[in-house]
Amino acid sequence: MEEQSPAAAAPTGSGGRPPAEGRLRSAATTAATATAQKPSSRRAASSGEGDGGREVRRGRGGRSNTAPSRKRRHPVRVAVVSVAIVVVLLVGAAAGGFAWLHWFSEDDAADFAGTWYLAGTATPITITEDRIQLTDDVSYRYALNDQDKTFELSFGNLKGGGRYRFSLDRNQLALVDGDFSGADTLGDDIAWTLRALAEGAQGRVLAPEEAARGVTLLSRTPTGTPSLPEAADTPEAPAGEDAKADTGDGSKSGNDDGGAEPDKADAISAPDTSDKADDRA
């Protein structure tokens, strides 16, 4: 009998190879196939293959369901931003106009000085560049702060102060006693200016302040009745003329028949000559 080699004696599988070797090669082939497929899977995942990838591409292309809603909101944002810009411009213009009118349009020191009259009277008050002259003997020294719209007064050892405000036409002036800061006067002046502009649009001039205790209102023109002149100031009648008084019936006093007034020569009494005529007799 012939001897068989161990390899020849081992059982063979299909194809003439041992079963173990076939399994090893099959496993190696499967591993190689899986390894070869991994890069393509990564590329598919990174590029968005599948249903999820198609949704991403549709989103990028603007074909998703949320794109129309974003487009509808865009004009609303533009309108809101436009309105906000207009409001800011209007507020800035109003603030600039008030600042110009309040601080830069006029010279307070120059308008403060001059001759003023107490409101409702013909009593004059003279204001110089540093004094408020009430009478010939009474005057107050003052100093203006045209930024805060306040003033300080001093009379000997006495001191005081307050705030001031002109009317829009600068023909009226209000002096308010008290202690005021720049913020106090600014807040009051803003509210008053708005009301004054509204009144001016209707052709009326708003007073700088309402009459109240501690408020002195001045006007450039006298608004009261001036005092009557003294009797000594009336001109005297010329000497030698009779006074003419109306008696109500058309006649003049001193003329009994109501006719024309006699001449000056007729008014002089004739000299008495009766004694001389008796002596001659």
213/38: higher pLDDT: 213
Sequence letter at residue 76:
V
Got the DSSP string for 234-255? SPPPPTT-----B-SSS-BTT-
pLDDT tens digits, residue range 50-93? 555 555 455 555 555 555 555 555 788 888 999 999 999 999 99
215-219 vs 172-177, strand pairing mode: antiparallel
Percent of the chain, pLDDT > 70?
A: 53
* pTM reported for the whole predicted model: 0.55
pLDDT value of residue 136: 84
On the question of pLDDT at 162 being above 90, the answer is: yes
Which DSSP letter does residue 232 get?
G
Average pLDDT over residues 167-189: 95
On the question of pLDDT at 218 being above 80, the answer is: yes
280/99: higher pLDDT: 99
Q: Is residue 117 a contact partner of residue 221, using CB atoms and an 8 Å limit?
A: yes
Alpha helices, H only, 61-132: 67-99, 108-112
pLDDT value of residue 115: 95
Average pLDDT over residues 137-165: 94
On the question of pLDDT at 5 being above 80, the answer is: no
- Give the 3-state secondary structure percentages of the chain, helix then strand then coil, rounded to 5: 45, 15, 40
Q: Is residue 237 a contact partner of residue 243, using CB atoms and an 8 Å limit?
A: yes
- How far apart, in Å, do the first and last CA atoms of the chain sit? 239
Q: Report phi then psi at 280, rounded to 5.
A: -70, -30
Give 57: exposed, middle or buried? Use CB within 10 Å, 0-12, 13-18, 19+.
Answer: middle
CA 43 to chain centre: 68
Q: How confident is the model at residue 25 (pLDDT cuts 50, 70, 90)?
A: low
Average pLDDT over residues 94-104: 92
Average pLDDT over residues 33-55: 52
Q: Strand, helix or coil at 139?
A: strand
Q: How confident is the model at residue 185 (pLDDT cuts 50, 70, 90)?
A: very high
Average pLDDT over residues 17-30: 58
